[in-house]
Structure 1
Amino acid sequence: MQRRIIIAGGGTGGHIFPAIAIANALKKSDPETEILFVGAKGKMEMEKVPQAGYAIEGLEIAGFNRSNMLKNLLLPFKIIKSLGEANRILKRFQPNAVVGVGGYASFPILRRAQALGIPTLIQEQNSFAGKANMFLGKKAKKICVAYEGMEKFFPADKLVFTGNPVRGSITQSAVTRDEAAKHFGLQAGKTTVFAVGGSLGAKAINEALHPLLSTFAEKDIQLIWQTGKPYYETARAAAAAYASHVKVFEFINLMDFAYKTADVVISRAGALAIAELCVVKKPVIFVPYPFAAEDHQTFNAKSLVDKKAALMISNDAAAAQLGTTLFSLVQNKALLEQLEQNIGKLGNINADMVIARHVLSLIG
């Protein structure tokens, strides 16, 4: 029997890359499986999913806009329209199961699938579940989670602890540290920091690093700095005087190279970033993005801090505290080893295959 599966959601790399990892695992389990992605029109999944070799359909849907309330006036109409579009997609494609990975498009598809009696599975990536997933969780068959204590959001009998899927390019990377350092024009064996703020960069991290560039050079510490597009030109100009120590990039595609070179990582605390850092076992200073829905990044980071697997600085304190915290950590070998060991215990390189098995179990 040929299985047909819809994977719905997106909006950010944090939703899209795990979704693609699940699709690849489903194909690996059964190459005959037909997979259709459903995303939100105008969002990055409409570009990234076809690049990964999968078909995608877009819904006319947006999320609740916290910064411009006027934009929410059309939201009820968009939701109604997207539910109608979702209905048509489901009736045409006739899936055996629907997977929701979070993001705008996952709600209408899963809501309609549940109404039609199609089995659904939710992949909740964060330690603090969003309202849409909590609502959908009541009728989902299974909910795959990456953090303990999720029964406060979902029915306990539906929870499966799987961890978050990590891209194969990271879990299966064979690059050596010397090769990775050379790729970035850095010296192998020198202490190196990797700062990354997600695909768009992180304003607080960028602004906190800017005045520290001369200190990196003085202390002979190298920095790989992924700034995102908005801050790139500013950072490039500031780093020009320290070119041997500071390498600035708008976006880094070869993340496995950046992780391999780094002794310490400075990062936002999205679920995908955390899953990757656990797999590559890197000491990390988290600066959670405070405006994420339900402030879930702070909850994500705190769950690692409580296990002595990471350090955390709040967004507001980054400018004042990042330099002190970073440069003292780099010199503290005992703490670096402790963070590396503890974060490594949380890594899960098989989450994609485990989730794929649970999806297929819904079909029988």
Structure 2
Amino acid sequence: MRQLSFVISGGGTGGHIYPAIAIADALKQKYPEANFLFVGASDRMEMQKVPKAGYEIEGLWISGIQRKLSTKNLLLPFKLVSSLWKSYKIIKKQKPTIAIGTGGYASAALLKMAGWMQVPTLIQEQNSFPGITNKWLAGNAKKICVAYPDLERFFPAEKLVQTGNPVRQDILNKDISSAEAFNYFELNEGVKTILVLGGSLGAKAINELVASRIAFFKENNVQVLWQCGQLYYERFKHLATAHIKIVAYIDRMDLAYGMADCIVSRAGASSVSELAIVGKPVLFIPSPYVAEDHQTKNAEAVVKANAACMIKQSEFEAKFDAQILALLHDKALIENLSSNFKKLSKPEATAHIVNEIEKLIKE
């Protein structure tokens, strides 16, 4: 059997990048001699995050469709042709055993070209409502790994396998002490702690909400680890105090999750999957700006299982304070939500996806 070669693509946001890295890490553990190459968009965050995870990455000149009328859309045909041509050269050079895509427009050209060149392809869809890219790639895909049931209306039923979403292995690290976590983030052990997450790039509305509640946190003796995102750090960093730790990005999520008494988060699919494994009380504030409002659907599914709380962005000014205090102090609520959320977790999702990849390799 010739040496295995994996080409992996997915990017634009952490929700596409981290599942890709999780899959690569699991494959590398089983096949340490295999070749790995990531392919992403040349101007997006995967160009920094993937090398930091220890993998090579090639960038494509590609971007998504601007929803608003924009002259940038005029470049799309040229970017697509350029990306398909570069993908052709990458595949010809790498001779991949299989191409794997986790969504985002960066994976569109690579996996479409891989399919045309008779390379087996597997795509992984994190959301209950698939993105444009994966729907476009489904025709050529050999296998489609999904996190939610009932996606036959979007994808061929015979290709579907419900695996759950891959999560970063570092969050499964249980061998950390409370003291280590608090020391790392320079916060006080023994003080109720809220972890605020708005996604890897940040969430403007959540950031503005937290900024307006600094006095509330102080009055209630609450400290906050606030990931405001790379786009907003310069705007909000001046609000940091001894009890309000503000960072653009958290590189030790295992410590952040371990330290938190409750978590405020968007409801992207990868975030929901990680938080289920963590099993802490969560307040979801779904983004209302994503396709088909899928973050609200993600959060509603968890709330329906009595496993988390949710406030719509349009209502959080009125409801946030009372909900946060309940998540910090109502022992019965905390225990109930945590127990139910853990029941929804799929910590073996990455292993199941690797099993599907191995089946394709052996065909």
TM-score with structure 1 length normalisation?
Answer: 0.93
Distance 1:89 1:300 in 2: 36
Match of 2:71 in 1: 70
TM-score with structure 2 length normalisation?
Answer: 0.93
Q: Deviations over 1:167-221 (max 9, x none)?
A: 1211124212232123333332332211111122211111112222222222222
* 1:61–1:78 contact (8 Å) kept in structure 2: yes
Match of 2:157 in 1: 156
Distance 1:250 1:39 in 2: 22
| Structure 1 unpaired stretches of 5+ | none
Change (3 A) 1:194 1:89: same
Match of 1:237 in 2: 238
Change (3 A) 1:51 1:186: closer
Distance 2:212 2:117 in 1: 57
Match of 1:131 in 2: 132
* 1:265–1:285 contact (8 Å) kept in structure 2: yes
SS in 2 for 1:88: helix
Q: CA deviation at 1:357?
A: 1.9
* 2:104–2:133 contact (8 Å) kept in structure 1: no
Q: Deviations over 1:286-343 (max 9, x none)?
A: 1112222333222222221222211112222223322232123323222211110111
Number of aligned pairs? 361
Match of 2:275 in 1: 277
Distance 2:7 2:234 in 1: 40
Distance 1:230 1:144 in 2: 31
In the alignment, residue 91 of structure 1 is paired with which amino acid? Answer: K
In the alignment, residue 252 of structure 1 is paired with which amino acid? Answer: I
Match of 1:212 in 2: 213
Match of 1:89 in 2: 90
* 1:207–1:319 contact (8 Å) kept in structure 2: no
* 2:173–2:254 contact (8 Å) kept in structure 1: no
In the alignment, residue 192 of structure 2 is paired with which amino acid? Answer: T
SS in 2 for 1:342: helix
Structure 1 position 301 matched with structure 2 position 299: yes
Q: CA deviation at 1:249?
A: 2.2
Q: Deviations over 1:50-88 (max 9, x none)?
A: 222222211111101113522111112211221222122
* 2:326–2:333 contact (8 Å) kept in structure 1: no
Change (3 A) 1:32 1:286: same
Match of 1:112 in 2: 113
SS in 1 for 2:39: strand
Distance 2:358 2:111 in 1: 17
In the alignment, residue 290 of structure 2 is paired with which amino acid? Answer: A
SS in 2 for 1:247: strand
In the alignment, residue 69 of structure 1 is paired with which amino acid? Answer: S
In the alignment, residue 79 of structure 2 is paired with which amino acid? Answer: K
SS in 2 for 1:152: coil
Change (3 A) 1:234 1:8: closer
In the alignment, residue 58 of structure 1 is paired with which amino acid? Answer: G
| Structure 2 unpaired stretches of 5+ | none
SS in 1 for 2:338: helix
Match of 1:257 in 2: 255
Match of 1:144 in 2: 145
Question: What RMSD in Å do the two structures reach over aligned CA positions?
Answer: 1.8
Distance 2:281 2:203 in 1: 19
In the alignment, residue 292 of structure 2 is paired with which amino acid? Answer: E
SS in 1 for 2:194: strand
Match of 2:319 in 1: 321
Percent of aligned pairs with the same amino acid? 49
Match of 1:27 in 2: 28
Match of 2:180 in 1: 179
SS in 2 for 1:265: strand
Farther-moved stretch of structure 1 (189-198 vs 260-269):
189-198
In the alignment, residue 323 of structure 1 is paired with which amino acid? Answer: D
Q: Deviations over 1:81-101 (max 9, x none)?
A: 212221222222221211111
In the alignment, residue 244 of structure 2 is paired with which amino acid? Answer: V
Match of 2:356 in 1: 358
Change (3 A) 1:230 1:36: closer
